[in-house]
């Protein structure tokens, strides 16, 4: 039985489903997303290690622009939320034609918005390293890296948008396969474009592998090419594969006011939330840059290593958005509430395990990416600090996904605004002067705990069950 069939059965059944039935629906949707996130994390580890082999300067160049890249990615994720949640609720209510119309409008939106955001990022790439206070030696490579990433942003938006739509239609396996395929391609292209032409010995035979030798620029080029391929593959899936969101050229749909209005109401708070978090991250990056290159490199590698704990929770959040969205569309508030609470506690459990892994293997995780003893020592210290905040971080990730499935984007925005600026930024500015990077990560741990607690309170109060997305 597919996840879509299971969900349809639960929506049509009378009464609140048994725990076993609800858990089965969650896992059918969640496991492909969890596997996808775990594998993507492993590939990201390899990607970061390849750049790290070029030295701490190259790592710092990539890490310097990471928060700004995340800012643009947040805008793309917000747009994906704006359209994909509509798809979930339309399908839950049995409005398949309207779900397909939303998919067509999403495709049009990707072309227009992707070009605008890519152009803005390209222009920003020139002054960005200087604005962030980077050392002179790091600026050229950081600027080049972000400029290449900017050129691929229309495809990045497309990959995010279509992946979210397919997931909200109940298919998490296709995004898993495509994203795993594209991340393997990214690693292969890294080998070709980061390193120069070189001799390689394999199974006793020696041969020469061509390489462009572009260094940091090669890593960005490989990432951009990979995003372009996955975006085109998703478009092919939407046109050629039978599904509730399959579209045809003859059934194309122009922009509709109701769809754009709902996308705005869903996406704007999500965009503001990510902008709030990213601007705060940029402020923190500037603080860390003032500490030194070792701190910048250790911070970037620790953030990358931490992702092993929270990306599985992001997979559960995908299931939460889909299940809650379809339940709300069908008018099944009882089912929406059960799914929301269930997936949130699953997030806590997953992140508790992830935190234990971070604490136990902190030095080994950082050593994957760097051989610099100073970077390894500092990165391991901050990882062990944040490990204690991971369970409640998991609660915030998954609860946020569930709330958005119900159409509640404002709540996550207000919570993130209050905790990020009221706790993390304030404490970072206070503690960085005396404790350096350790003080910044103590502030982060305190903020993650506060954010998780507030999200769980909002989830259990249940006011989000009364939100109406379509008027």
Please check whether residue 235 lies inside any domain of the structure.
yes
Which residues span the domain enclosing 260?
3-462
Flag whether 37 is in a domain. yes
In which region does residue 331 sit, left (phi positive, over 0), alpha (psi from -120 to 50) or beta (all else)?
Answer: left
DSSP assignment of 161-210: HHHHHHHHTT--HHHHHHHHHHHHHHHHHHHHHTSEEEEEEETTEEEEEE
Q: Does 374 fall in a domain?
A: yes
Q: Does residue 469 fall inside a structural domain?
A: no
User: What does DSSP assign to residue 18?
Assistant: P
Verdict on whether the full-model pTM lies above 0.75? yes
Q: Which helix (H) or strand (E) holds 39?
A: helix 19-52
Contact 382, 407 (CB under 8 A): no
Give me the residue label for tokens 């005396």: 434
DSSP string, 98-109: HHHHHHHHHHHH
The pLDDT, as a whole number, for residue 182 is 81
- Structurally, the chain folds into a number of domains equal to 1
State the pLDDT at residue 12: 57
On whether residue 180 sits in a domain, the answer given is: yes
- Structure confidence at residue 359 (pLDDT): 92
Q: What is the pLDDT of residue 312?
A: 79
Residue 467 counted as domain residue: no
Residue 193 lies in a domain: yes
Q: Is residue 468 part of a domain?
A: no
Q: What share of the chain is helix, strand, coil (3-state, %, to 5)?
A: 80, 5, 15
At residue 56, the pLDDT reads: 78
Q: At what angle do helices 66-92 and 293-329 cross, to 10 degrees?
A: 10
Task: Spell out, as residue ranges, where the chain has pLDDT lower than 50.
Answer: none
């Amino acid at each position: 039985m597919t996840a879509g069939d299971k969900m349809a059965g639960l929506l049509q059944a009378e009464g609140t489903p048994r725990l076993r039935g609800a858990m089965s629906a969650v896992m059918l949707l969640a496991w492909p997303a969890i596997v996808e996130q775990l594998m993507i994390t492993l590939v990201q580890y390899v990607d970061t290690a390849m750049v790290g082999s070029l030295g701490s300067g190259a790592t710092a160049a990539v890490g310097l622009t990471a928060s700004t890249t995340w800012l643009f990615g947040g805008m793309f994720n917000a747009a994906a939320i704006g359209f994909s949640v509509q798809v979930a609720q339309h399908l839950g209510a049995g409005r398949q034609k309207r779900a397909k119309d939303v998919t067509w409008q999403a495709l049009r939106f990707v072309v227009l918005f992707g070009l605008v955001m890519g152009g803005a990022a390209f222009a920003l790439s020139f002054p960005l390293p200087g604005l962030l206070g980077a050392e002179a030696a790091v600026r050229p490579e950081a600027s080049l890296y972000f400029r290449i990433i900017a050129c691929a942003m229309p495809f990045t938006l497309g990959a995010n948008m279509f992946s979210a739509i397919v997931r909200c239609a109940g298919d998490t396996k296709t995004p898993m396969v495509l994203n795993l395929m594209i991340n393997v391609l990214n690693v292969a292209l890294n080998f070709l474009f980061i390193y120069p032409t070189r001799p390689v010995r394999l199974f006793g035979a020696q041969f020469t592998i061509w390489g462009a030798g572009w260094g940091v620029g090669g890593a960005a080029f490989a990432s951009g090419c990979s995003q372009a391929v996955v975006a085109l593959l998703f478009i092919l899936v939407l046109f050629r594969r039978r599904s509730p969101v399959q579209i045809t050229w003859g059934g194309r749909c122009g922009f509709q006011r109701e769809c754009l209005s709902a996308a705005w109401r869903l996406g704007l708070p999500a965009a503001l939330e990510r902008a709030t978090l990213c601007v705060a991250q940029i402020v923190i990056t500037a603080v860390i840059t003032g500490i030194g290159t070792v701190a910048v490199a250790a911070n970037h590698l620790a953030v990358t290593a931490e992702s092993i704990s929270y990306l599985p929770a992001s997979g559960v959040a995908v299931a939460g958005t889909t299940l809650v969205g379809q339940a709300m569309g069908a008018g099944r508030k009882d089912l929406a509430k059960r799914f929301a609470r269930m997936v949130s506690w699953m997030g806590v459990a997953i992140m508790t395990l992830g935190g234990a892994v971070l604490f136990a293997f902190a030095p080994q995780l950082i050593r994957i990416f760097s051989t610099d003893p100073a970077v390894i020592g500092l990165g391991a210290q901050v990882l062990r600090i944040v490990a204690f905040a991971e369970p409640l971080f998991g609660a915030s990730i998954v609860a946020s996904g569930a709330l958005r499935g119900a159409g509640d984007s404002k709540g996550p925005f207000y919570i993130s605004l209050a905790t990020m600026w009221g706790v993390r930024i304030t404490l970072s500015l206070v503690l960085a002067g005396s404790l350096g990077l350790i003080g910044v990560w103590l502030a982060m741990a305190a903020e993650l705990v506060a954010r998780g607690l507030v999200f769980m309170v909002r989830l259990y109060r249940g006011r989000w069950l009364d939100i109406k997305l379509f008027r």
